[in-house]
Structure 1
């Protein structure tokens, strides 16, 4: 490892942006900073979503059992990836804070420590996923065919977690310093290669015939490995390059700080993810379980399109808030949170209105079953009422994460999902026999409360005083 003095010599002047992709987040127009960060992150989010959609589409060509196996396997893998993504949350908060302070050396060190931690975690989770696949599948399917294909798929796909960890952390570090274009290039490369691999290996049986579901897993693994290599190359050519010279030393105190921020973020994501499983079981007990679950799946996929711009804005505000707190521009950080939130509220209000008015058309496009169509219409119309509050909660939640306050979003998510949404969904859907429409109203009410609670906490400004 290079000495501290050498590392300092490698550092660019804090007042100069040597990378044209790095946006100035603590000076100049806030609106410009928001725009420069947001549009690449929106495209990155879209590119990410295309991979999962393509995997399911291609698996469907192999049959319903293969499609079910891919869908279930990727849900299980997602639960493992939560921990790596949580490390990325800690990376963004800490690197952005020190970058805003002008302390480049600490920003480099936190990037290096995050890479070490995430790669080790990815390797451990890959091993656990591969060895424990059969046990993880037991609660979700009794079909031996689905279980068999899932085990095969997970045996290969679990290795994806190692290169994913590299991509996740490098992208988090790039976002932290105000570079949203490099993550877009990395994710676009992964998406293009993964989709191309699906088409060649599975749909065209080239260059190896008969891979079936294995082809989808090999495609993702190959694409992610190339993307990870590209990520490290981009890192070596960026203002964060000195961090690569620091990956041969573990600094326990820095690891502890990353974990301190990351664990609540992981628990927040787990609280949300596990609540969806419980809601699944509630809907499965409704009088028309097949139609209820089908309408929920369709509704979630359509509503997922609305998550994309909000997710992009949430990631953008996280970096902006983190850097401005580091630069002691407290008022600018506070103002940034509200400006981005209002952009999201306005955008989702318009999208929700379109969703409400076109609910019948959308439902008929996805299903031919009259009951499923009726449930989808009610899902889209009821949930459209909560979309502005979803934007409010998710974006200000991103601001909290940028400030290093991951406990507030964790507790709000736990309370609104487990204390409000699930008990109310059970009561309305099953006890009052309102069926899935009762569950939709429970979802909407919980999102409205989530938005108000997050805004109330944000206005307190206590997060601006948090030491990370």
Structure 2
């Protein structure tokens, strides 16, 4: 690709969409398997280990918020620059997100080590599992820089429309993690069984291997990662504000979304009737839900990449068309899948929850969520559109409002006052998805979300003129 070449190929066609989407579906599947393997092996060691890994994994997500936000900003900036044919700018944004991600990862790791004991006490970790939890926490902190690097390099490949490379690295991470978990955690294949220590270091080894593999493939690619990819301070001062404008709302969204789920669990835990059963049903139901919505995450990522490239190339009408295609494909295919799954909800619930009372709650949870699938897929796909355009502020406002002003208040009213059971909470989740997707669709049709892109056409100035003037310096 020349330094100012236009993107080739018709990735906005149905075939092009499929070529970009199927590797990401597999990536999300392997990502799910990594977490599932850890939890499964931990459960075979001891219930205390399973409890500890669940707690630490949830905390780890908050430590990765900056990495996820940086990945979103990187996809927007790099894909738009490539779509515009500005390869030098794309390279420099690659260098910025890599250096920034590694620096933040190391900084949070050091802060985490300095505050480990007080942080775990703040979480009110039971004394029974405190030693195991502390061990996992320290090993996870040690692997945090690699985790940041793995997340951000994967985003760089997606922005370049090279989906096979991050898929291969995700497969490698899953394989290394599984072998190390089973071998050094449970002692299979004649390997020494280190118990929970083996599980903790399996995560460290697998993520580190994935980060090294990604960096190696980027270096071998030679297009985006070069010596010139690390810009001078003068360019960074002019180019960084756009990354921050995209990353800040994305980070805020992740924090608000997950805090919302914690509050939702507390609402379920305090229900006036059968609160423990409701909590168990929600937990089991969410495990199934996480698998069901793996394709929706893939549509979200495909939308961000394609929209970023098309807006960078000044092709907003085509960006709108490809967004509608993704909406149609995603909602239609996932609705058919939901219809096929509906008759099996009772069997799935019985498999996950042998206790009849809990199984009833799982069935209720799954059916409300299956009905909401078209709305959930629509909002997730449109969220990807906004990410590609750099309009993460819209996603932050809509998702945050749906969670804190619709879902949580309605869950409390329906669960504690009106129906006084878990069905009220499940209804609130459905209503919030309808609200969320409707407002996102309204914004898509009525607001100029493309104005958030770094490169704007039709006689208007680019949003990052300062950076553009230094692209060749």
Distance 1:134 1:210, change over 3 A: farther
Who is 1:75 aligned against? 58
1:158 maps onto 2:172 in alignment:
no
Aligned counterpart in structure 2 of residue 381 of structure 1, from 341, 363, 367:
367
Question: What RMSD, in angstroms, separates the aligned Cα atoms of the two structures?
Answer: 1.9
- Residue 316 of structure 1: CA displacement? 0.6
The Cα shift of 1:83 comes to 1.0
Tell me the residue number matched to 1:104.
87
1:280 pairs with 2:265? yes
Q: For residues 88-125 of structure 1, what are the alpha-carbon distances to aligned partners after superposition, in whole Å with 9 as ceiling and x for unaligned?
A: 00000000000000000000000000000000011112
After TM superposition, the structure 1 = structure 2 runs for residues 430-441 of structure 1, keeping only pairs within 5 Å, are 430-441=416-427
Contact 1:141 1:147 in 2 (8 A): no
Quote the Cα distance in structure 2 between the aligned partners of 1:231 and 1:89: 17
Bigger Cα displacement from structure 2, 64-73 vs 223-232: 223-232
Cα displacement (A) at 1:49:
0.9
Instruction: Indicate conservation of the 8 Å contact 2:307/2:319, yes or no.
Output: yes
How much has 1:147 moved relative to structure 2?
Answer: 2.6
Tell me, what secondary structure is at the counterpart of 2:161? coil
Determine the C-alpha separation between the residues in 2 that align with 1:135 and 1:358: 46
Task: Please give the TM-score of this superposition, normalised by the length of structure 2.
Answer: 0.91
Whole-Å Cα distance in 2 between the matches of residues 305 and 244 of structure 1? Answer: 41
Q: How does 1:18-37 map to 2 (within 5 A)?
A: 24=8, 27=10, 30-37=13-20
Conserved? CA contact 1:392–1:451, under 8 Å: yes
- 1:21-60 equivalences under 5 Å are 24=8, 27=10, 30-60=13-43
Change (3 A) 1:271 1:205: same
Q: 1:318 aligns with which of 304, 308, 312?
A: 304
SS at match of 2:149: helix
Report deviation, 1:237. Answer: 1.8
Where 2:143 maps in the other structure, the secondary structure is: helix
Q: What's the offset of the Cα at 1:357?
A: 2.0
SS in 2 for 1:358: helix
- 1:119 maps onto 2:102 in alignment: yes
In 2, are the aligned partners of 1:236 and 1:244 still within 8 Å (CA)? no
> 2:351 maps to which residue?
365
Q: State the shift of 1:289 in Å.
A: 2.4
Determine the structure 2 residue equivalent to 1:197: 180
Tell me what 1:179 maps to.
162
Whether the 8 Å contact between 2:173 and 2:210 is mirrored in structure 1 is: yes
Distance 1:244 1:413 in 2: 39
Task: Give the structure 1 partner of residue 330 of structure 2.
Answer: 344
Pairwise CA distance, 1:207:
8.2
The answer as to 2:239 corresponding to 1:254 is: yes
Report the Cα offset of residue 142 of structure 1. 4.5
SS of residue paired to 1:237:
helix
The change in CA–CA distance for 1:417 and 1:244 in structure 2 (over 3 A counts) is: farther
Kindly state the Cα deviation for residue 454 of structure 1 after the two structures are TM-superposed: 0.7
1: CA distance, partners of 2:323 / 2:428: 27
* Among 301, 309, 329, the residue aligned to 2:315: 329
Cα pair 1:47 1:188 within 8 Å, conserved: yes
Select the residue among 434, 449, 452 that pairs with 2:435.
Answer: 449
Residue 407 of structure 2 aligns to a residue whose secondary structure is helix
Unaligned ranges ≥5, structure 2: 455-473
CA contact (8 A) 2:94 2:224 kept: no
Q: Distance in 2 between matches of 1:244 and 1:430?
A: 60
Q: Tell whether 2:405 aligns with 1:422.
A: no
Q: Is the 8 A contact 1:325 1:333 kept in 2?
A: yes
Deviation at 1:136, TM superposition (A): 3.6
* Compared CA separation, residues 147 and 289, structure 1 to 2 (3 A): farther
For structure 1, the 5+ residue unaligned runs are 1-10, 18-23
* 2:291 aligned residue (298, 305, 317): 305
Query: Aligned pair 1:95/2:78, yes or no?
Result: yes
Q: CA deviation at 1:138?
A: 4.1
Higher mean displacement: 344-353 or 243-252: 243-252
- How many residues align? The count is 451
SS at match of 2:162: coil
Question: Equivalents in 1 of 2:75, 2:330: separation in Å?
Answer: 21
Q: Indicate the SS of the match to 1:328.
A: coil
Aligned-pair CA distance for 1:240: 3.1
CA positional deviation for 1:209 = 3.9
